[in-house]
Chain A
Amino acid sequence: MTALSVLIVDDNEVDRELLRRDLKKTELDAMIFEVSDGEQALKFFEDCNACDDGYQEGDHPILLFLDINMPVLDGFGFLEKFTELRTQYPIDTCVVIMFTSSEAEADRERALSHEFVADYLVKGEFAVSELREKVLSLV
């Protein structure tokens, strides 16, 4: 099995670091990339697509951890653009897990209304074992 490709989209450096450590601790074989806002995340996907002549599944991240409150392009803004992007690139296997400190029910509902958003994690409110199970069930 090839390594699981994961992209963390969060402007908070410490939160990215902690999630990276948590993922490492799950002992899943994962390649982890990090960007700090929605705009950079979109670019990441576009770059994946442009990097060689033939597009191959597995080149792009399979799993996205997406923060909500970010500068430039926030989590919800990204979800809108990502919906469009999915019609252009064969990336429909990519799923998103929200990764945010917002506990607002409205945010949760809004995020989960996108069919490719698989889960909603509140920062610091989950155990590593839980994270492992969630990731395994999705990929």
Chain B
Amino acid sequence: MDGFMIAAPETDNEEERLAKLLSYHILDTIPEQQFDDIAELAAHICGSKISLISLVDKHRQWFKAKVGLDAEQTPRDVAFCAHAIHEPELFYIPDATKDQRFFDNPLVTGQPNVLFYAGAPLCTPDGYRVGTLCVIDDHPRELSSEQKESLMRLSRQVSNNLELRLHIREIEESGLLLEAKNEELQQFAYRTSHDLRSPITSSKRLADYLIEDLEASNYGEALRGAQKVKGLMANLEELVGDIVSLVQADVSMNDVEPIDLTELLNDARQRLEFLAVESECEIRVENACLSNVPIERGRISQIVDNLISNGIKYRDVNKADSYVDVKVSNSASTLKIAVEDNGIGIRSEFLEDMFKMFKRDNSEVSGSGLGLAIVKKHVEHMQGSIEYSSSKQGTRFNISLPTDRMGDPV
């Protein structure tokens, strides 16, 4: 025979096919009974010396099960199975020495002397052929039609096992996710009940003493008591507001509609101006004219509010000019919000926890501990991303949000 062996080309859908194979998480795993059994059955039914469950990876074929062969894998370019996955039917080579594609293949001319080969493709439900169940002998031979049919049936069993494996994995993953959500919910229920009840109980008791003070005409004491109740109620109001925001962040807020971001930012600045003035901290807003950005107003508003108020609360009183810079830009279907301050920074050991509910970097700074949890929820719902950096010079948050989720900008 003239020429040289022909290596199998890549499949037409090679990239997707490989992705599917990887999704099974089966490559390089240890042998498993259900696959070994099928390979044994195939060898037994076909009366062959060798039987393999071969998975065709990018540059190799790897054997999940093997009978009569020691090798773990072979390069893809000499693999019969790399040819077999091009066809939905049985790939059948009764005498490899008489086949142009294989006659001088090192697996034919040397060990294990593949002179006979029959491979049934492993077809996934979505139409990819990720490998084969094959039988091999070291002499030319034939299979009966029953044997061919059985090999095809067994290959479907291998495919089913692969698919089952995927489903089990998905169920396990969603179980873990559920567990984490449940944990979060329990934590939330515990903390909200404690954090809501405690200021109410304290206020009630302060009110009792307030009444006593008033009855005894201790107006000075009464005034102090009343101011404390007011303080508790203000904190409670903030907490309840934040809890509502957090819960709402999980349901859909406003529709995505073109909004005037310049106006939104000015509103935010006005809302927080009292806090800024009281703290001698300047809010500086910089934005190009952003009049028609298609995005959810409520979410953006809460992200901006929380980041600015954190910047103000965690200002550095030792620095002369405290500021919070807000820069917003919109280009290439991405809305970028950068909030930067020259405050005290976030302690490095807190970074890991800062997006968790009720976690606070400094208990002397007032707040519910929900601000960044709210920001994170909103960003996740808008499929955006958060980056941050923090040092003693200050903190910067960069938020990127896709604005093309509902089609092109209006």
With A21-B209, A71-B362, A71-B363 given, is the CB distance from A14 to B202 under 8 Å?
yes
With A101-B194, A124-B201, A124-B202 given, is the CB distance from A17 to B228 under 8 Å?
yes
Q: By DSSP majority rule, is chain B's interface helix, strand, loop, or mixed? A: helix
Partner of B202, one of A11, A18, A69, A71: A18
Whether B206 and A18, one on each chain, are in contact in the complex, defined by CB atoms closer than 8 angstroms, is yes
Tally the A-B contacts, defined by beta carbons under 8 Å: 28
Does A119 touch B at the CB level, under 8 Å?
A: no
Q: How many positions in chain B have a CB within 8 Å of any CB in the partner chain?
A: 14
Contacts of B231 in A (CB 8 A): 14
Contacts of B201 in A (CB 8 A): 124
Q: How many positions in chain A have a CB within 8 Å of any CB in the partner chain?
A: 12
CA distance A14 to B230 in the complex (A): 11
CA distance A123 to B204 in the complex (A): 13
CA distance A11 to B225 in the complex (A): 18
With A101-B194, A101-B198 given, is the CB distance from A18 to B205 under 8 Å?
yes
9 contacts between A and B (CB under 8 A): A11-B363, A11-B364, A15-B202, A17-B225, A17-B228, A18-B209, A71-B362, A71-B364, A124-B198
Instruction: Beyond A11-B364, A124-B201, list 19 extra A-B contacts (CB 8 Å).
Output: A11-B363, A13-B228, A14-B202, A14-B228, A14-B231, A14-B232, A17-B206, A17-B225, A18-B202, A18-B209, A21-B209, A71-B362, A71-B363, A71-B364, A101-B194, A123-B198, A124-B198, A124-B202, A124-B205
**Which 5 pairs, one residue from A and one from B, show the smallest C-beta to C-beta distance?**
A124-B201, A71-B363, A14-B202, A21-B209, A18-B205
List B residues at the A interface (Cβ < 8 Å).
194, 198, 201-202, 205-206, 209, 225, 228, 231-232, 362-364
List A residues at the B interface (Cβ < 8 Å).
11, 13-15, 17-18, 21, 69, 71, 101, 123-124
